Amino acid sequence: MERYEHGGQIYDAAGNAGDWLDFSANINPLGLSDNILLTLTENLRGIVNYPDANASELKRAISTRYAVPEKNLVVLNGAAEFFYLHLQVTRPPRVVIPVPSFAEYERAARAAGCDVKFFVTRAQDNFALDTAALLAELKPTDCVIFARPNNPTGNLPAPEKILPLAEVASVVVDESFIDFTDAPSLKNFVAGKISVVQSLTKIFAIPGLRIGFAVVNENLARRLNAAKDVWNVNFLAQKVGAVALADDDFLRRTRAWLSTEREFFTERLSTLRGVKVFPPTVNFVLFKVASPDVAEKILLNLRREKILVRSCANFIGLDGSYLRTAIRSRAENLRLLDALKKILGGVDLETV
């Protein structure tokens, strides 16, 4: 099975990774909080001991933050671990994946030997998930996996659109970006066939630590906790996760920043020649240019400026004319917008 390329490929870029402006990874540009930095410093000597296999402190913090029982929790080495763990344990005959979406859903399904069916959403509908049409295609033995907010489209279906799916099939909802929004979570609907997984990576800017968790029904939690690697979350990740989840101020500042900067960035991106922007809900924006050739010129010229954005050519349901960019600080966003304006002013465009 080929490895899928994700964003955040600064290690593949020439030169020092710190020299690059990376819009390809959807990480909170506010960076590490002071609380996280202090926690790392104070706990470095603790790595001489094995981590808590039960991740008890982190589970308590998750339970407190999201008002979910600890008995329903599975603590993870990043959210991506869940898709592999869940499908290896439950072994559904078929996995249904609305696309475009995160590629690890398909990889995990194929690794577990499941058949995969893609449910394609349409650009003319802004990639909205037609849950009624999806429902009509489901079988009771299916497992549906999708994200809300979705990566890369940003689509955010309301809970009442999702719940009917779980009356027919098992449903895995990836809410890795939900804390960037004020939208209600599905974490309190896991008594039956709904499982919700979340990453702490994006919101707290800690992708190198790998922390995630899932909220599932009690029976499934027992099965998954028995099947996972015993020390799947390291000592520092557990300490940092517990502290980060208690940092209300950081979450408030993040949402306030994003509300302002997303509007600023999206408005200006929409004015660029030949660009179609799809409505964003989180800290990244999907946009389309005239053709894959135009997108390739954009990527090449941005790399010359040591700027990375995400090509969406390898997302099922998209093609090379789609690009995704994170939203970063005002100064960084202006640098990207200025570079895009210069590039698009110098290429031949067709109608988008």
* Number of residues written out for the chain: 352
Q: What is the pLDDT of residue 11?
A: 47
Domains, the chain, in order of start with CATH, read 10-32+249-344 (3.90.1150.10), 34-246 (3.40.640.10)
3-state secondary structure 208-255: CCCCEEEECCHHHHHHHHHHCCCCCCCHHHHHHHHHHHCCHHHHHHHH
Contact 317/118 with Cβ under 8 angstroms? yes
Q: What is the pLDDT of residue 352?
A: 43
* Residue 305, pLDDT above cutoff 70: yes
pLDDT tens by residue, 38-64: 999 999 999 999 999 999 999 999 999
Q: What is the pLDDT of residue 13?
A: 53
* Residue 84, pLDDT above cutoff 70: yes
State the Cα–Cα distance between residues 10 and 137, nearest whole angstrom: 40
Could you count the other beta carbons within 10 Å of the beta carbon of residue 269? 21
What are 208's two structure tokens? Answer: 């190198």
Tell me the CB-side half-sphere exposure of residue 224, using CA atoms within 13 A. Answer: 27
Can you point out the beta strands (E) in the chain?
A: 21-22, 73-76, 94-99, 115-120, 142-147, 170-174, 194-199, 212-215, 276-277, 284-288, 307-308, 310-311, 322-326
pLDDT tens by residue, 121-132: 999 999 999 999
60 or 10, higher pLDDT = 60
Mean pLDDT of the chain: 94
pLDDT tens by residue, 231-263: 999 999 999 999 999 999 999 999 999 999 999
Contact 95/143 with Cβ under 8 angstroms? yes
**Model confidence at 175, in pLDDT bands (50, 70, 90)?**
very high
pLDDT tens by residue, 145-168: 999 999 999 999 999 999 999 999
What separation in angstroms does the CA of 65 have from each of 59, 69, 188, 246, 346? 10, 11, 12, 7, 50
Q: What is the pLDDT of residue 351?
A: 44
